[in-house]
Structure 1
């Protein structure tokens, strides 16, 4: 195969290249790596089942780094481990948004910063017990760009699911976290419920995760109904509306006391919020306004009397 790869360099206009089940070695990898910089228009590269290991990744990456338009690299069913993943993360061009490493030998037994990609597929890799914590460290990093993370059949279990769920309290970018085939029970899924909608206070509910929309292709048959409902709710584009809906669904009474320090100056904002998000919740609207009136009766009366007097003066001056 090594003798065939140089001819690929002549195909400068090629946008997608698939090389499957070639049982590549170091010589073939070096030849492909040398040819890649000539493929200036390459957008997608699929190297399935080619026996590529960590050493071969090191040979390929310099060539891949020159593919400035490449946005997808698919390395399904090879022999890449943690060291190879680290080389890929460090050396791939910034144009790559999607990296597929299904069924390799990745364990995440060492710290790796999974920040720069938008989509990462590690399905079918047997992660170490520290693997979920390594992933969680990236998900909580404000520089993390991940929008989709596939961890199907990665031996995560309830404990790992809980670690990943907790990390989502600090992530408002990831929309898909695929976790099917990990022997996760209701105990593990339940952690997502409190992350998606923390009911301990109105502020906590407002600060819940409103980004995560899916736990995988077949998650509906595995997760509790309340988690499914919250994931569907997060699908809404208006995140202010998503947050407001969660607040109205879980807090039948809105405590206005924290707003009293602003006197009546905050009341118009409360009314505007209720008009926008709680149009059909008349009892909630009235009780919220009543709290202000009960807490500051003289300000309310003074405001009404002052308004009437003002109107009277305007009438007499006319």
Structure 2
């Protein structure tokens, strides 16, 4: 824990005052400023801070506000982020906290979640924002802030010159509040990100906001998801002249085809927008056609979300036509639409010539194996696509065999998601053959299929020769004891795989034993998930021994029921993984500090692991390893005592 030093390095001079300065009535807000930095409540907050972050979840603002205000007012405060979450009244406490923020010079990020926060508390915070010069991010999501509170905050934004990110999502912001906030945006020159999602801004509020966007020249990210507005006319007019807004989220607004057409007209002139989120916007083929016309001429949009709409083959065909000429769009998300064979033919043809698209999400489209056939040919020739999501598209083994042939030729695909399809052992075997020759794929998701031991055996053989795959998900398949043992053997030879997910299979006790033995020799795996299998008898000593010998594992999920995390073994696993992480992070430096080493619960086991690691370190770093061992020895045996 990084304990903050609130006291000066030298004793204060006689008569020095280290109290929070008092107001004229002898109070700071509603509290008497009677405590000093030595007060136990202030020191308790000091000790709670870790790496500059102070979390006060579940605490009542009124109860801890005065010591927190004293802490913040100290010139020796090094807290940089504060997170407060409470369900109790907090206006009086927030007033006191705000006094501390007036004088604070360290906090850059403040999060307050208090559903009972009223306008008086926000007025105090707003007053602090007018003079504070360090706060960069303010999160007030879910506080039911009303029009009066937003009015106070808006006045502060007119003069504040440092706040760059403001989150007001899930409050009670309506048209009246939006009018006040919009006036502030017209003159504010600091705010670059504003989240207004899940408020009831309505069409009138959208009109006011759009008027502000016409003159604002700093806001770069605007989140308007689910704001109960379908008025795209005023927003489109603003986007025609605004070239500073780069990211716009309109998810879950019922803009429909008409709204998409209005936005498309703006995109033809806009030169600044790079990300547009239109998920769940009730867009159909006509709306997609309008957007495709904009894509033919737009030169800035790089990311477009069109997921969970009702785009069918006509709309997809028009989008594909735009991709043939567009040179800017690099990420396209069209998941959960109704794309059919005709749409896939058009899209596949576009991919054979397109040189910009890097990410394509076709997940949850239920396209089918036959309709996807043209895509495999495109993958064999495409030279830019790096991420492809085909989850839940009714792929069968025959289709996966064809895909695997394309993967043997493909030299760009890095991430492939084939989860939730009908892939069985034959399909897994075909993919395994592709993995033996493919040298670019880094992440492969085969979760929620029907792969058994034979498929796992084929993948195990591939892992023994593949040198690039870093993440493999086989969650929720049918892999049993034999498959688990074979995968374990493959991991003893594989030097690339860092993450293996076997959650929800049929691994048994024998498979666990094999995996634990593998952990003792594997030097690459960082994440192993074998939760909720058919493991019945767990040798606790074997588990702990394997984890202390292993030097790379950060996450190990062995849960077989909901009670495991709170069991002695569950707690011991978390402790060892944390300590191994500390040791690895300290090794590149000048060894472990004595303070860190003395805090380890298993110093002998960790020292043994580091001793083994010395043989694999370059000569120049071996002394660092020896320093680590000396620190661990000091932790085991007090200095000055002979062995």
Is TM (by shorter chain) over 0.5?
yes
2:539 corresponds to 1:212 = no
2:642 corresponds to 1:287 = yes
- SS of 1:187's equivalent in the other structure is coil
List gaps (5 residues or longer) in structure 2. Answer: 1-339, 608-623
1:28-54 C-alpha deviation (Å, 9 max, x unpaired): 243111122343211111111122122
List gaps (5 residues or longer) in structure 1. Answer: 198-207, 253-268, 289-318
1:73-127 C-alpha deviation (Å, 9 max, x unpaired): 0001112123322221322531111000011111123353224311100000011
CA distance in structure 2 between the aligned counterparts of 1:224 and 1:151, rounded to whole angstroms: 18
Equivalences, count: 260
CA distance in structure 1 between the aligned counterparts of 2:345 and 2:487, rounded to whole angstroms: 38
Contact 1:44 1:71 in 2 (8 A): yes
2:405 corresponds to 1:50 = no
CA distance in structure 2 between the aligned counterparts of 1:69 and 1:251, rounded to whole angstroms: 40
Query: Structure 1's 188 and 73: CA in aligned 2 closer, same or farther, altered over 3 A?
Result: farther
Query: Structure 1's 17 and 182: CA in aligned 2 closer, same or farther, altered over 3 A?
Result: same
1:2-44 C-alpha deviation (Å, 9 max, x unpaired): 333232232412111122332413x324311112234321111
Contact 1:157 1:188 in 2 (8 A): no
Q: Find the counterpart in structure 2 of residue 135 from structure 1.
A: 487
- Give the superposition deviation at 1:221: 4.4
- SS of 1:59's equivalent in the other structure is helix
Q: In the TM superposition, what are the counterparts of 1:172-191 in structure 2 within 5 Å?
A: 172-184=523-535, 187-188=538-539, 190-191=541-542
Q: In the TM superposition, what are the counterparts of 1:1-318 in structure 2 within 5 Å?
A: 1-8=340-347, 9-11=349-351, 12=354, 13-19=356-362, 20-25=364-369, 27-92=370-435, 93-109=438-454, 110-111=457-458, 112-113=460-461, 114-115=463-464, 116=466, 117-141=469-493, 143-184=494-535, 187-188=538-539, 190-197=541-548, 208-216=549-557, 220-221=565-566, 223-236=569-582, 237-238=584-585, 248-249=603-604, 275-279=630-634, 283=638, 286-288=641-643
Larger Rg: 2
CA distance in structure 1 between the aligned counterparts of 2:512 and 2:377, rounded to whole angstroms: 42
CA distance in structure 2 between the aligned counterparts of 1:134 and 1:251, rounded to whole angstroms: 28
CA distance in structure 1 between the aligned counterparts of 2:637 and 2:485, rounded to whole angstroms: 45
- Give the superposition deviation at 1:231: 1.3
CA distance in structure 1 between the aligned counterparts of 2:445 and 2:540, rounded to whole angstroms: 25
Contact 1:210 1:239 in 2 (8 A): no
More helix by share: 1
- SS of 2:538's equivalent in the other structure is helix
CA distance in structure 1 between the aligned counterparts of 2:524 and 2:511, rounded to whole angstroms: 20
Please provide the CA RMSD for this pair. Answer: 3.3
Query: Structure 1's 226 and 247: CA in aligned 2 closer, same or farther, altered over 3 A?
Result: closer
Q: Which has the higher contact order (CA 8 A, sep 6+)?
A: 1
CA distance in structure 2 between the aligned counterparts of 1:155 and 1:59, rounded to whole angstroms: 29
